[in-house]
Structure 1
């Protein structure tokens, strides 16, 4: 989709912002803390966004592209490439951002007697349940559509002038 580093950065920012925002609200809801929304919550959201963007741009994104390129899929069908890339991206981001969520949760109110591994696995499961369909059915198509219409189109027009 993005064809250069500038487009990749813009696309990554758009995707990360949408996913972090919705996943943060989801986690506040499932943890029963949506009512205690505070400046600390906003700070955690900003930190989460920065971490997600760095992971997306420098670790998960490149790794997902490498894995997608090496898998024996029919590249003539764009949907296969999108499904493969989405699966790799969501899996990587959920695994890493769930660790961030666990650390933030442990620092703010402890683990309440649960083992770290059990707590992490539950967070991963809960996050994957929403993140995969959210990315596949809503955020992916929405961000790709906005990107093509407003970013890609303007960059192409600016390059032509």
Structure 2
């Protein structure tokens, strides 16, 4: 498994991962809020790009670095890259779900109002629904797909000099 080793590779990897995760999660949240078919294509696109920019900033500067630091500390005694990858992925999803659920809550309130009139309960509901979708999406679909794209098209193939 070839993972990003430079800042440039990490940026491309994060860009692809954010794009895929935000695309699916935006559609999921629009579906949950009953907004598919009610928003215009332009409004949906605007919502996607707003979420994408916020998620990319969080990934690059807050959640990503901290999730990687914590995961690497917890997996220092293992030689298995899969444990490290799964730990990073899990911490990334939890961190991103915590922050992006605020975005989801705001858009939910704008589109359909409060659900319970208790903002903490609404937030916890949005967070739980996002976490339930995002964790398997990340580990089973996007993680392997983005790694495949990264290895196939982004990561430079080094020539073996014999």
Question: Partner residue of 2:92?
Answer: 89
Question: Partner residue of 1:55?
Answer: 58
SS state at 1:36 partner: coil
Indicate the RMSD between aligned Cα atoms, in angstroms: 1.9
Runs (4+) of structure 1 exceeding 6 A deviation are: none
Question: Partner residue of 1:76?
Answer: 79
Cα distance, 1:32 vs structure 2 = 1.3
Number of aligned positions between the proteins: 157
Aligned CA distance change for structure 1 residues 30 and 112 (closer, same or farther; 3 Å): closer
The one of the two structures with greater contact order (alpha-carbon pairs below 8 A, sep at least 6) is 2
Q: TM-score w.r.t. structure 1 length?
A: 0.90
Question: Partner residue of 2:30?
Answer: 28
**1:82-136 superposed Cα distances (whole Å, 9 cap, x missing partner):** 1111110000000000011112222344315521100000000101111000000
Q: Which moved more, 1:32-41 or 1:21-30?
A: 32-41
| Higher percent of residues as helix | 1
Aligned CA distance change for structure 1 residues 112 and 130 (closer, same or farther; 3 Å): closer
- Structure 1 distance, partners of 2:115, 2:128, is 19
Matched-pair contact (CA < 8 Å) for 2:93–2:134: yes
- Structure 2 distance, partners of 1:76, 1:113, is 47
Matched-pair contact (CA < 8 Å) for 1:73–1:80: no
Q: TM-score w.r.t. structure 2 length?
A: 0.90
- The answer as to 2:146 corresponding to 1:151 is no
